[in-house]
């Protein structure tokens, strides 16, 4: 992919860069997305049906097992070139990472994540009283076909632990949303990477950046609703595009 000299100049001149990332970034590390069809036990369920408080009330073992399977996938995965490029671009300028992903792959690649808008797989809490808890060390062993796993009990009230993610119908974590808004205020260049721009209210962030006069760059394999707003649309896998962007910055001939 050819990275335009205009985009390179915008990047060089940016005072603060914000990366707003979605499931497409983690998918390149082998993390299943909500669009992937699960097999075995979970083949009978839409992912959205397992990502609600109502589903947890109906069958907590099914929901906890599914999220333990997802957590297993994350712990076995490694950061990909997209994660690594984002971390590398922070070497010579302020960079904020705001992600919709619930994994820690940005952190493992060296990025300082300002906000996890949809929560974090590794931060369970009590379904009843909200007390934070910890997973036991190690990678959970969950069969690919799926397994019902009874959630652990809360040490404070005895209620069931739930995954530390934002389910459908729940508000985004207030502290993370505030951190994302602060990053948005600081940014004069925003990269929207690997996100469908369909999940609200997070999908508003690039739109707000554009309205504030920030340069908006979209990196995505497919067209999205952001196409008409973005100043630059870089179509392709996140790892491939961001790796080329990083390489182009290092080539004098691209200037």
- Alpha-carbon gap, residue 118 to 121, rounded angstroms: 9
- Alpha-carbon gap, residue 236 to 234, rounded angstroms: 6
Q: Is the dihedral of CA 161, 165, 167, 173 positive or negative?
A: positive
- Alpha-carbon gap, residue 31 to 33, rounded angstroms: 6
CA angle 42, 47, 52 (to 5 degrees): 115
Q: Looking at 83, 106, 118, 120, which residue is catalytic? A: 118
Query: Catalytic: 116?
Result: no
- Alpha-carbon gap, residue 106 to 123, rounded angstroms: 16
**Residue 33 near residue 75, CB atoms below 8 Å:** no
Q: What does each C-alpha distance from 240 to 3, 25, 81, 110, 235 come to in angstroms? A: 12, 11, 7, 19, 10
Element (H, E) at 218: strand 215-220
CA angle 4, 8, 9 (to 5 degrees): 115
Task: State the catalytic residues.
Answer: 118
């Amino acid at each position: 992919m050819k990275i335009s000299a205009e985009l390179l100049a915008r990047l060089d001149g940016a005072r603060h860069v914000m990366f707003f990332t979605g499931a497409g970034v983690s998918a390149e590390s082998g993390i299943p997305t909500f669009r992937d069809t699960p097999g075995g036990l979970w083949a009978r369920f839409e992912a959205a049906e397992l990502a609600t408080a109502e589903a947890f009330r109906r069958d907590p073992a099914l929901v906890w097992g599914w999220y333990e399977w997802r957590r297993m996938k994350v712990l076995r995965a490694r950061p990909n070139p997209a994660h690594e490029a984002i971390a590398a671009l922070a070497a010579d300028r302020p960079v904020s990472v705001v992600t919709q992903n619930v994994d820690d792959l940005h952190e493992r690649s060296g990025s300082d994540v300002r906000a996890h808008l949809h929560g974090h797989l590794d931060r369970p809490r009590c379904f009843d009283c909200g007390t934070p808890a910890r997973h036991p060390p190690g990678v959970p062993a969950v069969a690919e076909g799926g397994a019902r796993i009874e959630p652990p009990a809360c040490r404070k009230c005895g209620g069931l632990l739930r995954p530390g993610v934002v389910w459908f119908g729940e508000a985004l974590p207030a502290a993370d949303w505030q951190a994302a808004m602060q990053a948005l205020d600081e940014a004069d260049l925003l990269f929207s990477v690997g996100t469908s721009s369909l999940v609200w209210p997070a999908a508003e962030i690039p739109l707000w950046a554009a309205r504030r006069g920030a340069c908006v760059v979209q990196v995505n394999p497919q067209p999205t609703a952001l196409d008409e707003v973005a100043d630059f649309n870089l179509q392709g896998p996140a790892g491939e595009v961001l790796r080329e962007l990083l390489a182009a910055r290092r080539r004098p001939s691209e200037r």
